[in-house]
Amino acid sequence: MTSPTADVEQDICVIVPTIREYECIRSYVENADEHGFDTDRLFFLLVTEDFCETAAMTEMLSDLGVSGAVFDGSRREEWYDAQGVESYGHVVPAASHAETSFGLLYMWNNPQFEYGIFIDDDTLPHDDSDFFGQHMENLAYEGEIESVTSDEQWVNVLYQNAEEHGLYPRGYPYSAMDETVERSTTTIERGEIVASQGLWTNVPDLDAVRILMDGDLEGQAQTRTVTTDFTDDFVAEAGNYLTVCSMNLAFRREVIPAFYQMPMDDNEWSVGRFDDIWSGVFLKRACDLLGKQIYNGQPLCEHNKAPRSTFDDLHNEVAGLELNEHVWELIDDAGTDAETYVEAYRAMADALLDADADAYRNGEFLPYCGEHMHDWLDALDELQRVPAPADD
């Protein structure tokens, strides 16, 4: 672990799940330097696996002169033991993108981190945009912004040029397509924005069915997004859901209780690929209950998804496709009296526990998620309740 500069408040934890393309961090640090963003505010937390180049990752952070730590599977187990939460290690699934939840636990255990940023390792920042600075500005935003709603209760984050490219992002319900979009203006008060979702150029974030429909067998897409596809930043009105992709996302510490990255891939039903999508659904419901907002748009990142079999992605997604059509409906009226993120999240967890599992293919995955959501809150409570020893 590298150490922060003593006289600078290190308040941003940058969480990067990675197994091979960790060098992308160099571009993000260079972007910060070029735009005058103080990198001493940043702590890079790399979540990786035992078979990966952990020593090289640590050396890279040192070479860049930034603070950070690398946690492979073994080191995560050691961390759970050191913090006295070894009984909650199961909330972070093995060999899954949802291992980003470990980063949230780490943040929660280190209260100096007021902000978190998720970055996927197949992305790069746009040179002309202050990546970190823009996310921080978004979280502090106050003033007028475009507000979007639809007659299907879902907002397509790619709606601004959808008539031309026809794209819907990964996780957008098929039953909510062909929606009628309405745009208006709303006024945001300072502190109301709790998450900032940056969108993406080059390879759009699509599910496998949509990639196949776009004629691509290599897991990417023939249709690509460009900067001009994103004109105005926006929020989705209360009562509307949207896909939240964690490849380029900043958030306030306060949302962590309601932002658990769902336990995908490492489960007996083989449900995967919806970890950040479902966590975004639950976060949006919590935001609606508490009068908060998710900011969408800038800063853009360049998504350079590596070629892979579209059918492999389809295999990983198909087990949860039907559930994805309905999970938002199951929590849409949960937590109406909630006054905190914890209360809102417990109500949503209970809604999944009470769902009719027999009504859906792999429906037993719903109470499985509900149990893990409760365990997530208990793990956060345990970390907060028991003074933790140093982990370095």
- DSSP string for 83-96: HT-GGGGGGS-TTS
With a pLDDT cut of 70, the percent of the chain lying above it is 96
Note the pLDDT tens digit of each residue in 303-324. 999 999 999 999 999 999 999 9
Over range 212-237, report the average pLDDT. Answer: 96
Residue 15 and residue 66: Cα distance in Å, rounded?
14
Structural domain boundaries in the chain: 12-385
pTM: 0.95
Give me the pLDDT at residue 95, please: 86
With a pLDDT cut of 90, the percent of the chain lying above it is 94
Residue 350 and residue 26: Cα distance in Å, rounded?
42
Name the band, by pLDDT with cuts 50, 70 and 90, for residue 144: very high
Of the candidates 193, 320, 204, the residue with the CA atom closest to the CA atom of residue 262: 320
Over range 192-201, report the average pLDDT. Answer: 98
Inter-residue contact 262 to 83 (CB < 8 Å): no
For residue 6, is pLDDT > 60? no
Over range 220-238, report the average pLDDT. Answer: 97
3-state SS class at 350: helix
Residue 172 and residue 207: Cα distance in Å, rounded?
9
Give me the pLDDT at residue 4, please: 44
Q: What are the φ and ψ backbone dihedral angles of 349, each rounded to 5 degrees?
A: -60, -40
Q: What are the φ and ψ backbone dihedral angles of 325, each rounded to 5 degrees?
A: -70, -20
Q: Which residue has the tokens 């958030």?
A: 251
Inter-residue contact 335 to 235 (CB < 8 Å): no
End-to-end CA distance of the chain: 7
Note the pLDDT tens digit of each residue in 246-297. 999 999 999 999 999 999 999 999 999 999 999 999 999 999 999 999 999 9
Name the band, by pLDDT with cuts 50, 70 and 90, for residue 174: very high
Tokens of 308: 């892979």
Query: Mean pLDDT in the chain?
Result: 95
Give the single-character DSSP code of 123: E
Inter-residue contact 352 to 359 (CB < 8 Å): no
Of the candidates 32, 27, 254, the residue with the CA atom closest to the CA atom of residue 134: 32
Inter-residue contact 341 to 380 (CB < 8 Å): no
Picking from 93-97, 184-188, 279-283, which range would have the lowest pLDDT averaged per residue?
Answer: 93-97
